[in-house]
Amino acid sequence: NAGVMQNPRHLVRRRGQEARLRCSPMKGHSHVYWYRQLPEEGLKFMVYLQKENIIDESGMPKERFSAEFPKEGPSILRIQQVVRGDSAAYFCASSPLGDRLQETQYFGPGTRLLVL
Partner 1 sequence: AQSVAQPEDQVNVAEGNPLTVKCTYSVSGNPYLFWYVQYPNRGLQFLLKYITGDNLVKGSYGFEAEFNKSQTSFHLKKPSALVSDSALYFCAVRDRGSGNTGKLIFGQGTTLQVKP
Of 22, 45, 66, 74, which lies in the binding site for partner 1, with binding defined by CB under 8 A? Answer: 45
Binding partner 1 by CB under 8 A: which of 11, 19, 25, 48? 48
Q: Which residues contact 43 (CB under 8 A, 6 or more apart)?
A: 35, 36, 37, 91
* 8 CB-near residues (< 8 Å, 6+ apart): 21, 22, 111
Of residues 25 and 108, the one with the C-beta less far from partner 1? 108
Site string for partner 1, 60-89 (x = CB under 8 A): ------------------------------
Which residues would be at the binding site for partner 1 (CB under 8 A)?
4, 6, 31, 33, 35, 41-45, 48, 55-56, 58-59, 91, 93, 95, 100-110, 112
